[in-house]
Structures are given as C-alpha cells and as structure tokens.
C-alpha cells in the first residue's frame, strides 16, 4: 500500500527500527545519515522516534548524456565515486562524455554541501554506527555512493533503512558490497537492511507515495532545522513511597524539554516497562 507522504513513511520506518533495534533509542553511538533531498524528511521522523541526530550525505546520480534518467553512476561526499561499469561498457560511452557529466554533477554536489552546511560535515560519522536513510531505493546508484561516503568518513558499522526498495536492487547491492569486502579486507560490512516494502515489480519510488513533491533548497533547510533530537532535556530520577494498603515503592525517571506545552501521563502494565517498543510507539503517537 502506498505511503501518504514521506513524513508518514518516516514514522513507520522509525517504529520498525525501534522494534527491531530497541537498543538504538537515544544511543550515543548511532547517527542517521540522510540522502537529500527526499531522504531527509524520512530521516527526521526516524530521528524523532529514536531520538537520534541526523546528518546529510550529499549524493548525485550521473545520468547518461542522452538519457538523464538512466544512471551510469553516482558520486557522493568525501570523493565517493561509483560507476555502473557493465552498463557504461554496454552503451559504449566515451570517457570524454562521462567526464563532462562527472564535472557537472560534482559542481552541484559541492554547491549542496555548502548550502546545507554544517549538516553535511561528516566528521561526526567517525567511529559511529551509521544508518543510511532514503525515501526509496530504485536503481540504488546514489545509495551505493552513500555507502562509500560513510565508509570514507570512518564509520564503524553500516546499516540501511528505507520505506520501500526494489528487492532485486537490494540483492545486487549486497552482492557488490560483499565483493568489495573480498577485495578490501578492511572494508565494512552492511550489518542490516530494513525496508518496509520490497516489491518485485518495483518501477519507481514516486509510485509508492500519494504525495511525492520534489523538495527545494529552502524546504531542505527547513527539515534540517527540525532534525535535532530533543537534547538538553531536564531530568529527574528518584523514588516515591505510596501509602498502604495498595501502595509500594515507585521508581521514576522523568525528562522534559525546557518549555513544554503540556503533559501526558502514560501508565503501562506490570509486565511491561518504559523501554517497550509498543509503549514507546503509543507515547510517540500521543505526543
């Protein structure tokens, strides 16, 4: 079933990741890396669910000179470069033609890195577990470049999360990355894939969204401003002793922002706890 928009898809993806990786919640070892432009709204919502920071890995598809939508390769931050070598060879493109495409896309990549700074500073990825997030994976060209960027940035683990992806593309990327690791024993492995939908008859990312607008630079910066998790929360821990006959010891750990607009008290059952994925899902929806 198609998603309403990227925001809804991001919420669902965040809840799926929370259920699968509950230890990721507020982890200081994990950073979400969005592929702008479309991956950013998805990553921001995932970040809200998991309370994790978001960075941007700028990537650009390199289309064929006569067919811009046909991905011959992709580039990414930190000199990441991926060519679809079999396709380039099959179509018989001359290097001069590809050099012009590469130069054009590199200029746009640098422009975006500057425009969206400091969120494009990937030094924060060093020694971190990095979760690459996009709004969908069709041919996977830009995702391949983003994987190289994250590895070049010094990440220690790679994870991939997306609302929808071509099943065949995921298999192809995994096989290519395994081959990359065989050639380079120091290369990172892809630790996990999370995709809410993996259709075999995948045609385009846009067909899986009812509302799928192209984002402007201004809209990207809007999402960047909303990408910071709830840092600097005021916290209080302690114990309450409730009177008999139905009282007892109640341990509590409260945290709240500096300027809250309200309070929702959510009580869970005795067989549950505050880290339960179900409870966190309900609390997040109430919030």
Predicted pLDDT at 89: 82
- Portion of the chain with pLDDT greater than 70, in percent: 84
H/E/C letters for each residue in 149-177?
A: HHHHCCCCEEEEEEEEECHHHHHHHHHHH
* Mean pLDDT in residue range 189-203: 90
**Per-residue model confidence as pLDDT tens digits over 33-65:** 999 999 999 999 999 999 899 999 999 999 888
- Portion of the chain with pLDDT greater than 90, in percent: 59
Threshold 0.85, pTM exceeds: no
Per the DSSP assignment, residues forming a β-bridge with 251 are 239
pLDDT band at 275 (very low <50, low <70, confident <90, very high): low
Strands (E), the chain: 30-34, 54-56, 59-64, 67-76, 80-83, 129-133, 157-164, 190-197, 234-241, 249-256
The Cα–Cα gap between 171 and 179 comes to 12
Predicted pLDDT at 229: 57
| Matching residue, tokens 């390199």 | 62
Q: What is the DSSP letter of 163?
A: E
Contact 163, 191 (CB under 8 A): no
Number of continuous H segments (helices) and E segments (strands) in the chain: 8, 10
Predicted pLDDT at 232: 42
* Domains recognised in the chain with CATH numbers: 6-225 (3.40.50.2020), 234-286 (no CATH)
Predicted pLDDT at 111: 96
Average predicted confidence (pLDDT) for the chain:
86
**Per-residue model confidence as pLDDT tens digits over 64-79:** 887 877 888 999 999 9
Residue 175 has pLDDT above 90, yes or no: yes
């Amino acid at each position: 079933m198609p998603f309403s928009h990227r925001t809804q898809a991001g919420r669902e993806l965040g809840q799926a990741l929370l259920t699968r990786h509950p230890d990721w919640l507020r982890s200081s070892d994990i950073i979400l890396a969005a592929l702008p432009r479309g991956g950013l709204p998805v990553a921001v919502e995932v970040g809200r669910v998991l309370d994790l920071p978001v960075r941007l890995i700028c990537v650009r598809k390199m289309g064929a000179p006569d067919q811009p939508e046909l991905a011959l390769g992709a580039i990414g931050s930190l000199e990441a470069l991926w060519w679809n070598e079999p396709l380039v060879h099959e179509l018989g493109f001359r290097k001069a033609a590809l050099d012009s495409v590469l130069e054009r896309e590199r200029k746009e990549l640098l422009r975006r890195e500057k425009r969206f700074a400091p969120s494009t500073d990937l030094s924060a990825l060093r020694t971190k577990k990095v979760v690459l997030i996009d709004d969908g994976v069709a041919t996977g060209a830009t995702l391949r470049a983003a994987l190289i960027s994250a590895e070049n940035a010094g990440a220690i683990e790679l994870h991939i999360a997306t609302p929808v992806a071509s099943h065949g593309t995921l298999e192809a990327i995994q096989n290519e990355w395994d081959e990359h690791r065989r050639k380079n024993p120091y290369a990172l492995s892809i630790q996990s894939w999370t995709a809410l939908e993996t259709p075999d008859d995948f045609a385009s990312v846009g067909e899986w969204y009812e509302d799928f607008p192209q984002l402007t630079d201004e809209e990207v910066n809007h999402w960047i401003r909303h990408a910071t998790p709830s840092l600097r929360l005021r916290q209080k821990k302690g114990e309450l002793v409730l009177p008999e006959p139905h009282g007892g010891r109640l341990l509590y750990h409260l945290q709240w922002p500096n300027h809250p607009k309200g309070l929702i008290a959510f009580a869970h059952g005795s067989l549950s706890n505050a880290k339960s994925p179900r409870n966190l899902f309900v609390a997040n929806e109430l919030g």
